[in-house]
Structure 1
Amino acid sequence: MTRFVLVAGAWLGAWAWDEVAAELRAAGHEAYPLTLTGLAEKRDVPAGLETHVQDIVDEVERLDLREVVLVGHSYAGVPVGQAAERIGERLGRVVLVDANVPVDGESFLAGWPSDFVREAIAAHDGFWPCPDPAEFAGQGLTDDQVARLVAGATAHPGATLTEPAVLSRPFGELPGTYIKCLLDGEEPWGAAAELLKSERWNLVDLDTGHWPMFSRPRELAGILAASTKGT
């Protein structure tokens, strides 16, 4: 039995993990989906990156979890990676799902053409607005899955995207698995590619798009469960 804390990416809350969490629990694991401050049922609350890191640390400590596997999807890789360092001996493993990798001194927006995100945040009172349905095309999602994703999405607190990560040691020193969703690009790039040079990290491919908790929840849960064999 493994304990998972599941953190979804931009615009999403704990609800995004409903199917994955059900699969993990059915297999005998514990799953704790987490909504970060400013999203879903915690919407409209200002938050910075440190807020989100502390959300994750607080949840692990509140539940008194040991050998916990922290799972970060997309944006959430940045706060999850920092939280993984801070929880120390409580950590079993990190799993990043098609996620951004934290780099000390760099923000989520670093390393890719993201000026349009900064402009959108400035134009929407400090929040990154939810995408329209067309943004999810070509990602292996059914119309119903897109509709569910869009209906549940909430604007994302912009400061969490622009503030720099803070790490005290190379992230690759922690044990981890990187799940690459192939419809979103066949190869890890940037900091993710660098991370996978570490002997403590392994790569798993998943033949779906960037939101596998919707498009392939059973397969994703299986990969998460299998990743614990490396802890």
Structure 2
Amino acid sequence: MTDFILVPGAWLGAWAWDEVAADLRAAGHTVHALTLSGLAEKKHSPAGQQIHVQDIVEEVERRELRDVVLVGHSYSGVPVGQAAERIGDRLRRVVFVDSNLPEDGVSFLDGFPSDHIRAALDEREGVWPLLPAAAYAHQDLTDEQIARLIAEGTAHPAATLTEPAVLGRPLAELPATYVKCGLDGRDPLPAVTEALRGGRWELVELKTGHWPMFSTPRELARILDAAAARR
């Protein structure tokens, strides 16, 4: 079956994928949840966006994986999209879960209106602080899940947000699934809409909030399983 590498978004570690990983393993897949440098158990490691790209590439190479589905949530769509290009024919598919997308020469913060994040980075001397509990309201999460996100989360290193992405070809050329979490009622990002026009991407909508690995892990696992079956 397929080798999945699950990469969590800002503030999170590999632990965020526990329930999704269990369902994928039950379906017969091999699953590697990856904590990026500077977060969770790696919080003391140097971190930057290109370091995060290398974290993912090295995981594929170290495990000698050959039929890989890379999955990136939120922030991690940016390094995952770059890593997907760099692993070449080892890639089966990339899945972006309600994520930002990389654009050559553009940083995470430059990719959307982000003045509020820049202000937070200035106040906290180079880290993006954890969100308060109120920010998780109306996201289809239980009080217990919100408490865990705050208790186990890690302030996110700023360099990962300010370094520009490096891409050698259009992202739309990659085989990809974009999972849009539609609880907020917003349309997909313009970059997603543009990539869908290329014909190699599919759009899947999931009626939940921005953290589906907590709110609807079984449904997300089914979407990932189906994405692995596509060519």
Report the TM-score range of the alignment, normalised by the length of the smaller protein. over 0.9
Tell me the CA shift for residue 125 of structure 1: 2.2
Question: For the residues of structure 2 that align with 1:150 and 1:225, how far apart are their CA atoms?
Answer: 29
**Cross-structure match for 1:140:** 140
Q: Deviations over 1:137-170 (max 9, x none)?
A: 1111111111111111100011101111000000
What amino acid does structure 1 have at the position aligned with 2:163?
Answer: E
The more displaced of 32-41 and 143-152 is: 143-152
Tell me the CA shift for residue 110 of structure 1: 2.0
Residues 1:226 and 2:226 are matched in the alignment: yes
**Cross-structure match for 1:20:** 20
Question: For the residues of structure 2 that align with 1:192 and 1:10, how far apart are their CA atoms?
Answer: 20
Question: For the residues of structure 2 that align with 1:76 and 1:197, how far apart are their CA atoms?
Answer: 23
Question: For the residues of structure 2 that align with 1:132 and 1:94, how far apart are their CA atoms?
Answer: 31
**Cross-structure match for 2:11:** 11
**Cross-structure match for 2:39:** 39
Question: For the residues of structure 2 that align with 1:192 and 1:102, how far apart are their CA atoms?
Answer: 11
Question: For the residues of structure 1 that align with 2:6 and 2:84, how far apart are their CA atoms?
Answer: 13
What amino acid does structure 1 have at the position aligned with 2:197?
Answer: K
**Cross-structure match for 2:111:** 111
- Structure 1 residues 7, 181: closer, same or farther in 2, change over 3 A? same
Number of aligned residue pairs: give it.
231
Question: For the residues of structure 2 that align with 1:135 and 1:147, how far apart are their CA atoms?
Answer: 12
Residues 1:207 and 2:210 are matched in the alignment: no
Question: For the residues of structure 2 that align with 1:132 and 1:38, how far apart are their CA atoms?
Answer: 20
TM-score, reference length from structure 1: 0.97
Question: For the residues of structure 2 that align with 1:44 and 1:207, how far apart are their CA atoms?
Answer: 36
Aligned-pair Cα RMSD in Å: 1.0
Q: Deviations over 1:45-89 (max 9, x none)?
A: 331111000000000001111110000000000000000001111
Question: For the residues of structure 1 that align with 2:55 and 2:40, how far apart are their CA atoms?
Answer: 14
TM-score, reference length from structure 2: 0.97
Runs of at least 5 residues in structure 1 that lack an aligned partner in the other structure:
none
- Structure 1 residues 158, 184: closer, same or farther in 2, change over 3 A? farther
SS in 1 for 2:108: coil
**Cross-structure match for 1:55:** 55
Deviant stretches of 4+, over 3 Å: none
